[in-house]
Structure 1
């Protein structure tokens, strides 16, 4: 029990530092925690995030991958969704477009209600030259989520054309 309390306290302190804008200090503490608890998915996820917010995408990748590794224990659904989004986005930023598409496609299947995952998937599809799929996905997302009255008025037509962007009627 004492081990978990110590881990939880140290993790909470490091995350709080990031929240206070002390991002480098948070990253250093999280790297130390990840070394101490290498099989802890939550620590790996928070460490990946700490690298990402500093623009250290390449350094974030192994932590994201560790967090999503089934042997590292389960993440909460919110953290899992965040890790999938973070890793997919990071792959894309690093030019690993096919990896981004594969991961984000899986993530959208796992969290179909999450529009941010679909938006990042559309960006990755664009980067792979799959422009038709990207625009179609974005049109569906727009039709489903827009609060703009003019978009809502044409939602059915937007959905129809999302299926066949070359349709004329």
Structure 2
């Protein structure tokens, strides 16, 4: 790796992950993370490499590191918030998942994937009403299904109060 820049090394590791060479990518990213411990982008890519291998617990500190600094692009920050929130949920850390995903939805209110993952985390903390409200609103506002669109107003109404009778 002598003479190769951080950007080249990072690009190579990401390429490996994208090509399905997940363990090789993880190993290269771990080395990079050791060389650049404060680099948010390296931390994010390292977290992702762990996640894709099912190593969620090992991914968490890298996600957290990536979000604690500055330097992530808007898209990578969105991905890191989703990844961390989803990973907390997978690990059974539901309160942390809800908190992280609420922050993500606050920052990216038009992101349906973030809303969906927040709804799943809310389900896990037994907040079924809010989870259903989020999902029904998302369905009503984004579905291209002709029948859903036909009942869009009613679905949006019930998204606010599932117990409504009128």
- TM-score for the superposition, normalised by structure 1: 0.95
Within 5 A, what are the aligned runs for 1:1-169? Answer: 6-70=5-69, 73-169=70-166
Q: Distance in 2 between matches of 1:99 and 1:147?
A: 33
Runs of 4+ in 1 over 4 A off after TM superposition: none
Per-residue deviation at 1:74? Answer: 2.1
> How many residue pairs were aligned?
164
Q: Distance in 2 between matches of 1:62 and 1:144?
A: 35
Per-residue deviation at 1:153? Answer: 1.0
Q: Secondary structure at the match of 2:72?
A: coil
**Unpaired segments of 5 or more residues in structure 1?**
none
Q: Distance in 1 between matches of 2:107 and 2:66?
A: 16
**Unpaired segments of 5 or more residues in structure 2?**
none
